Structure 1
């Protein structure tokens, strides 16, 4: 047994040293992804804390507050229209117990006058625009703005129509496929493999396993974006339906495992952007960026815009050596 250690220890030591070196210098094995956007400011459902979620009014407000990326959700109506809505059933949003998939677009009810913000319970948003927009309207109105499209239905027709709209408006390189369902994501990638894609939760777990086993620097990754929650917001502004997710010990464990600056910096160096959602307090903005996240997804575009002006100004004052960003990455102006 002892003689075998003479061989095992150097091998493990060499592996650990190589893994650590490549973690810091991923360009040796991997070509950096070159997305045409680098997003610090992401508006969740268009900024659901300041305007009615997923409306053109919300998207207008987000763009006015210099958002880098609009996050939205899509469903297919009974008459085959790609409509922007988070929920498939409209009871929460409109007070009417109807399903989008069973309703023609022209018969969809309007949003309520005010709507509770999912990630800040007790806070209500309102706005004059209460209409459910079509995805095509969003693409027409904001032709150059990157959009994160989450596919909420396992529906081949929906996926194809979203892809067709992306191609029609020549925005393949600045529209992200998003889904929490592996099966749906595989269909999205088959339909339009040229669009950037996010990690699904299962792939995100695999990412952590690779990181903690030291294998991550050796493994190619096809995804371009990580979108995940910051565990410390659980039981404060995020209340998962699964009671196990709310267990305090598990929350702390997740936070310890996920919020790793070296992991975020490695991904950033490979051109993979990390977005943390849904953060609505300045202290959470601060922590996310201090941990190396590329961007923050928020319900309050104006609040994040103000924060970033101060944060980026502080980074410039400290100088490039202390900013902790990826090599050659210039801070954006807010």
Structure 2
């Protein structure tokens, strides 16, 4: 992602809480588990924690747990004595820095056991080797699934989970950060313009409202990919058409939110949840208005583009007070 580490934290209450936790976690040497849907910026968060930690001058080393077969993954992580000179693995490369294990939920059971031993004893050996090697590397891991749920399902080692989850940071999906989407989109546009050597004007308020109304199943990465297309092609209308098209995708086809274990209570008036619901209603109203203006107030066409029935569209127009009368008031 092009988003810089200092822009990970938005201005929502949830992200301010995460920023506070991250600042404390960065100062310690404990393992860190970063959870969140794919595309939310888990690796960016991990890099930020490393940069803020006393280990910042030491190496940052990354290893994806889904990119290699089990035997090659083990050799990459721990090193292999059969390679010339006993080639060091990522653990040795990290030294006194940070080793980041991306998508640790996909780690095979045998490697989960080896990682657990490493976290308990601070030592390991090469594949096909016997010599014990001490390590001071800090372990950070990310998961696109809820590891606690996988433990309950018998799909992840509970002891390893306990070791990794000393500090847990959950990055919320973009759809729960509606009030940050506009600022984030503009930041990404500026960053992409710098990276790609292009000059593109700021997005119009109507386009930003449309972006805020979309649920972003691919999260920040999906937003970045769409804005990259805008920066390359310079067609804001095409960007709007693409977002409108994606609004037709059924919810069943979107990435599920990580399972949460919590006691749900009715929120008091003015709670964060109530504020989020109001923000979602406001965003929906603006999206409907944006689509109607895009199709010259053809309600049937707007319903088709938004993937709802004509009857549902009329009901939403009435609830949101959006319609020809409201339009005439704005024009007059």
Q: TM-score, normalised by structure 2?
A: 0.27
Larger helix percent: 2
> Who wins on radius of gyration, i.e. which is larger?
2
TM-score w.r.t. structure 1 length?
A: 0.27
Task: Give the structure with the larger strand fraction.
Answer: 1
